[in-house]
């Protein structure tokens, strides 16, 4: 099931890069470029634009950076990646008749002093006079500048949503940041320990697609309930995140209290019985 969900998420991730116009249809290809270049290198990337409508249309070449929001979803936004300034295009305006297509050449030139790392760009076209998102189509470019790779993940926050839980529906909040220079794959699991430091639960957690450089990701985690978490008391949870090609690990910890309903009822009943007993002793003493 987890593998199936990852495939679905991956498909949606790719589809989310596509913008389409519901009025004047046009298309571009390819949908993605992945390349690695060294300092001082240059490369031409060709984007084919086709007017699929039945009228003549004019387009403008577009270059944007690609970021992620805190849920890992891609966002096309200009002036967000320094690599945008490394790209030039052959034609600023493209006029196409119905069913006509044309290649637009985008040239990437890596500066000689460019540091190694990953960059994410969108190159494509926008229908002239249309500013809405549906009026543009982008090809995603994943660019790796060659050099020493630094895989670093910062665990910014890991907490339980509540300090006291009265059922086994545990909820956590997690926030991490990629502080390295390359995108990171993430694998995680949560382990729960009782007051004897014995593990009572372990869950694999899906943290979504790769985390972009200098991007944050935050999410609420709802692991499945554990039948082994029975006794009331203080518990401790660990989150273990493996990341990157080097499979490094970062660990976070949080403590919470578990007070099951049956235990609270038992405490209430015992308390009432004790009060009734003392009340009985008091009344008996007064009669004497």
Domain boundaries, the chain: 26-145, 153-264
**Per-residue pLDDT, 85:** 95
CATH (one of 3.40.50.80, 3.90.1150.10, 1.10.150.20, 2.60.40.10) for 153-264: 2.60.40.10
How does pLDDT run along the chain (288 residues), one tens digit per residue? Answer: 444 444 444 444 444 444 443 444 899 999 999 999 999 999 999 999 999 989 999 999 999 999 888 777 788 889 989 999 999 998 778 999 999 999 999 999 999 989 999 999 999 999 887 655 557 899 999 999 998 889 999 999 999 998 998 888 899 999 999 999 999 999 999 999 998 899 999 999 999 889 999 888 999 999 887 777 788 989 999 999 999 988 999 999 999 999 887 777 777 888 888 887 777 677 766 666
Q: Which fold has domain 26-145?
A: Immunoglobulin-like (2.60.40)
Do residues 188 and 240 make contact, with C-beta atoms less than 8 angstroms apart? yes
**Per-residue pLDDT, 20:** 40
**Per-residue pLDDT, 108:** 96
Do residues 144 and 81 make contact, with C-beta atoms less than 8 angstroms apart? no
| Cα distance between residue 149 and residue 56, in whole Å | 47
DSSP E strands, the chain: 26-29, 32-37, 42-51, 57-68, 74-77, 87-89, 93-96, 101-109, 117-127, 136-145, 153-160, 164-165, 172-178, 186-193, 199-205, 216-221, 233-243, 248-258
> Burial level of 148, CB count in 10 A (0-12/13-18/19+)?
exposed
């Amino acid at each position: 099931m987890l593998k199936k969900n990852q495939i679905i998420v991956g498909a949606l991730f790719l589809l989310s890069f596509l913008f389409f116009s519901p009025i004047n249809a046009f298309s571009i290809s390819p949908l993605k470029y992945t390349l690695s270049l060294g300092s001082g290198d240059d490369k031409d990337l060709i984007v084919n634009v086709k007017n699929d409508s039945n009228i003549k249309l004019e387009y403008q070449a577009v270059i944007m950076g690609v970021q992620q929001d805190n849920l890992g979803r891609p966002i096309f936004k200009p002036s967000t990646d320094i690599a945008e300034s490394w790209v030039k295009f052959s034609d600023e305006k493209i006029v196409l008749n119905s069913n006509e297509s044309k290649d637009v050449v985008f040239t990437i030139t890596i500066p000689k002093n460019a540091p190694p790392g990953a960059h994410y760009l969108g190159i494509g076209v926008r229908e002239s006079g249309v500013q809405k998102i549906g009026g543009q189509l982008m090809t995603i470019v994943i660019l790796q500048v060659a050099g020493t790779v630094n895989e670093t993940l910062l665990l910014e926050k890991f907490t339980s949503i509540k300090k006291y839980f009265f059922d086994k529906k545990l909820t956590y909040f997690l926030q991490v940041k990629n502080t390295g220079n390359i995108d990171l794959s993430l694998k995680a699991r949560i382990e729960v320990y009782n007051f004897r430091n014995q593990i009572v639960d372990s869950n694999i957690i899906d943290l979504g697609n790769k985390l972009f450089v200098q991007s944050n990701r935050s999410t609420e985690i709802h692991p499945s309930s554990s039948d082994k978490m029975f006794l009331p008391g203080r518990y401790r949870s660990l989150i273990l995140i493996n990341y990157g090609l080097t499979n490094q690990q970062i660990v976070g910890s949080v403590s919470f209290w578990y007070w099951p309903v049956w235990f609270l009822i038992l405490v209430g009943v015992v308390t009432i019985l004790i009060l009734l007993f003392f009340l009985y002793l008091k009344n008996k003493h007064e009669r004497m």
